[in-house]
Amino acid sequence: MSLFDDLPHLVSIYGPPTVVLDAARGEKITWPTLRAASVPCLILQGTATEQDEFGQAQRQVAQHSIAFSDYDGGVEPGDKLVDDRTGRSYRFTGDRPQQGVGGIADFNIILVREMN
């Protein structure tokens, strides 16, 4: 049995992102639709080695990866993923499908940034 037969983490996926105006007329992003609940995955924590292009100058942010083996889609750029155990939230920024190897079936890795 491999790790990808019994993934240790669960995430719930919300999207698409919607911009609404708050009481002060500022923009607030919400994710009103639950796309999928408790999807098995492997969350791989990244390191803060990448420059944030739109945030403060010189601010370092971590890019994490989330690997799915049985979930074939339904995650779109901008979607929010919430770790069911810790409540940590991540925003989907990109993906990279991965060919299986050594008895492990094909799986999908998505790239995310942790949200505050």
Evaluate if residue 82 carries a pLDDT over 80: yes
Amino acid letter, 9:
H
Evaluate if residue 74 carries a pLDDT over 80: no
Evaluate if residue 56 carries a pLDDT over 70: no
Burial class (CB in 10 A: 0-12, 13-18, 19+), 30: exposed
Identify the CATH class of 3-115.
mainly beta
Q: How many residues does the chain have?
A: 116
Cis before 16? omega within 30: yes
The pLDDT value given to residue 116? 72
The pLDDT value given to residue 95? 83
The pLDDT value given to residue 40? 92
Question: Tokens in use for 18?
Answer: 């919607």
- On whether the CB atoms of residues 1 and 11 are closer than 8 A, the answer is no
